[in-house]
């Protein structure tokens, strides 16, 4: 896995060549597919090197403190100091943009590279992502974005300025041993911190993007008040097999996972990792940004939001499995619930199912579901429970629940009678509460509710 060889490599760009002058990690992967590069001993650092080939598209360069084995790698051996033998591979011109070069020139320094085969980071915070071993990038970063005092500021326009960055932190958390790069932006005395975290040894297929900020409400609730990561939406070549998947609609469209995939199994999956009720994704022109939803006016001190990015080469299904595994690991959950539901066959009447707002001809839902139950017995289908969806209870004009009880034309004899007939547990759907719900004390009910403009929310159980 390429991220298991995450590098911290500082380099100089001279013309079209890359000259190595400092190396501070165990393993680095060169951004030139198939090129052999052996810098030899770094002067005064007591480091020695040995090339190791792990796949045809990439050449891995290994540096160890002499006499100490690295923690990972294929067929690595101890090495002894040797004479310096430096080769200068050609630098792919597409790895550095005019804007990146201009930024480095203005700062009076050469671009600094962090490269692991998937992610390329430059001093101004640019980064690119592609599947493991592809030798190409599918996503190239956009600007850092921050909403402040009613204005949207970003690093493209100069309204948000990169103050400094660090690349020396490491530690251990729920996902394993991590290392990070931290960028700090500033505008009008307000700081935004953007952090890119990788887990090269324990979860090499993921990158976590973390942002911490003090924000202000955006002009639209559909916007975000911050942006990290952001990616530029670029024109896909006509002959490309690259496609995408994203759930749509007002329920999931603003925070759905985004999946990029191709016909060879390459895949990138991006989603919020925490603060799920505040997270949002926003397409502004050609920039797609992950951040906090635009309706948030103020954030508490120390507030952080994280976005998870997974890359793989085994297709969309495996990517979702690994994405789920990482989230369970982060939240301390197990796969026991998956095993439980695999043993609990269910009859669904949810969106997409045959009986979603659809009954048998000239029959109500009670008769229809009883027929389904009898047919299942005839076919020896071991249903353990039955799910009834939003079609069974009264709703207002917005589709919000007014009373969580069966309508007469759906279950003429009530839900208890249906349960008795089916002899199965029932999983009953509930959507969101209407402002006119009969359970709220404001409407003559017995429960405490917060009543909003269109909906309501119970404040007690």
The CA distance from 455 to 23, in Å, is 58
- pLDDT at residue 217 in the model: 43
CA angle at 251 for the pair 245 and 257, rounded to the nearest 5°? 30
162 contacts 106 by C-beta, under 8 angstroms: no
Residues 318 and 445 in one domain: no
**Which pLDDT tens digits describe the chain residue by residue (461 residues)?**
332 222 222 222 222 222 222 222 222 222 222 222 223 323 233 322 333 222 222 222 222 222 222 222 222 222 222 222 222 222 233 333 444 444 444 545 444 444 454 555 554 567 788 887 666 778 888 888 877 777 787 888 888 887 777 766 889 999 999 988 888 887 777 777 888 888 888 888 888 888 865 444 444 445 566 778 888 888 877 788 888 888 876 666 566 899 999 999 999 999 999 888 888 888 888 888 888 877 776 777 677 889 999 998 899 999 999 999 999 999 998 888 777 666 666 777 777 789 999 999 999 999 999 999 999 999 998 888 899 999 999 999 999 999 999 999 999 999 999 999 999 999 999 989 999 999 999 999 999 999 999 999 999 87
Burial (Cβ within 10 Å: 0-12, 13-18, ≥19) of residue 261: buried
The CA distance from 251 to 247, in Å, is 9
99 inside domain: no
- pLDDT at residue 373 in the model: 94
354 inside domain: yes
107 inside domain: no
**pLDDT, tens only, 163-189:** 777 766 889 999 999 988 888 887 777
Q: CA-based diameter of the chain, in Å?
A: 90
The CA distance from 63 to 38, in Å, is 10
Within 10 angstroms of residue 417's Cβ, the number of other Cβ atoms is 13
11 inside domain: yes
Q: Which of 289, 306, 339 is the last residue of a domain?
A: 339
What's the full length of the chain, in residues?
Answer: 461
455 contacts 432 by C-beta, under 8 angstroms: yes
Residues 205 and 137 in one domain: yes
The CA distance from 41 to 43, in Å, is 6
133 inside domain: yes
CA angle at 243 for the pair 240 and 244, rounded to the nearest 5°? 155
398 contacts 454 by C-beta, under 8 angstroms: yes
Q: Which of 309, 339, 369 is the last residue of a domain?
A: 339
Q: Which of 339, 370, 398 is the last residue of a domain?
A: 339
211 contacts 163 by C-beta, under 8 angstroms: no
67 inside domain: yes
Tell me the three state secondary structure of residue 414. Answer: helix
127 Cβ contact partners less than 8 Å away, ≥ 6 residues apart? 119, 120, 121, 141, 196, 229
Instruction: Look at residues 232, 231, 221, 233 and name the one whose alpha carbon lies nearest to residue 292.
Output: 221
Residues 383 and 319 in one domain: no
Number of domains in the chain: 3
Residues 356 and 308 in one domain: no
**pLDDT, tens only, 26-36:** 222 222 222 22
299 inside domain: yes
192 inside domain: yes
Residues 274 and 403 in one domain: no
Range of the domain at 75: 2-94
Global pTM value: 0.59
Residues 168 and 317 in one domain: yes
- pLDDT at residue 199 in the model: 87
DSSP state string for 20-87 = EEEE-SSEEE-SSTT------PPTTTTEEEEEEEEETTEEEEEEEETT---SS-SS------------
């Amino acid at each position: 896995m390429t991220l298991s060889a995450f590098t911290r490599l500082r380099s100089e760009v001279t013309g079209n060549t890359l000259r190595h002058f400092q190396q501070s990690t165990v393993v680095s992967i060169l951004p030139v597919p198939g090129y052999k590069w052996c810098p030899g001993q770094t002067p005064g650092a007591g480091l020695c090197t040995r090339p190791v080939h792990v796949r045809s598209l990439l050449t891995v360069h290994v540096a160890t403190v002499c006499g100490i084995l690295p923690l990972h790698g294929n067929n690595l051996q101890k090495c002894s100091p040797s004479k310096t033998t430096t080769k200068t591979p050609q630098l792919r011109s597409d790895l550095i943009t005019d804007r990146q070069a201009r930024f480095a020139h203005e700062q009076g320094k050469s671009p600094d590279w962090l490269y692991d085969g998937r992610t390329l980071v430059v001093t101004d915070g640019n980064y690119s992502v592609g599947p493991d071993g592809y030798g190409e990038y599918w996503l190239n970063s956009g600007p850092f974005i921050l909403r402040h005092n009613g204005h949207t500021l970003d690093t493209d326009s100069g309204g948000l300025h990169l103050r400094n960055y660090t690349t020396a932190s490491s530690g251990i958390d729920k996902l394993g041993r991590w290392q990070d790069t931290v960028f700090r932006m500033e505008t009008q005395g307000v700081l935004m911190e953007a952090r890119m975290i990788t887990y090269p040894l324990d979860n090499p297929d993921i990158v976590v993007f973390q942002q911490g900020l003090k924000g202000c409400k955006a002009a639209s609730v559909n916007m975000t008040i911050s942006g990290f990561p952001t990616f530029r939406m670029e024109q896909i070549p006509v002959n490309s097999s690259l496609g995408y998947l994203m759930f749509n609609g007002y329920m999931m469209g603003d925070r759905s996972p985004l999946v990029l995939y191709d016909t060879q199994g390459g895949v990138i999956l991006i989603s919020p990792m925490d603060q799920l009720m505040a997270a949002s994704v926003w397409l502004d022109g050609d920039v797609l940004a992950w951040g906090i939803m635009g309706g948030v006016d103020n954030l508490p001190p120390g507030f952080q939001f994280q976005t998870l990015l997974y890359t793989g080469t085994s297709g969309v299904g495996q990517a979702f499995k690994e994405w789920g595994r990482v989230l369970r690991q982060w939240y301390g959950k197990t796969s026991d619930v998956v095993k439980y539901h695999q043993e609990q066959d269910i009859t669904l009447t949810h969106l997409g199912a045959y009986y979603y707002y659809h009954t048998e001809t000239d029959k109500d839902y009670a008769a229809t579901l009883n027929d389904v139950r009898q047919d299942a017995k005839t076919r020896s289908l071991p249903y353990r429970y039955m799910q009834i969806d939003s079609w069974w209870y009264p709703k207002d004009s917005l589709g919000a629940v007014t009373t969580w009880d069966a309508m007469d034309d759906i279950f003429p004899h009530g839900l208890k009678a249906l349960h008795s007939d089916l002899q199965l547990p029932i999983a009953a759907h509930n959507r969101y509460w209407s402002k006119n719900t009969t359970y709220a004390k404001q409407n003559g009910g017995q429960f405490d509710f917060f009543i909003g403009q269109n909906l309501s929310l119970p404040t007690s159980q």
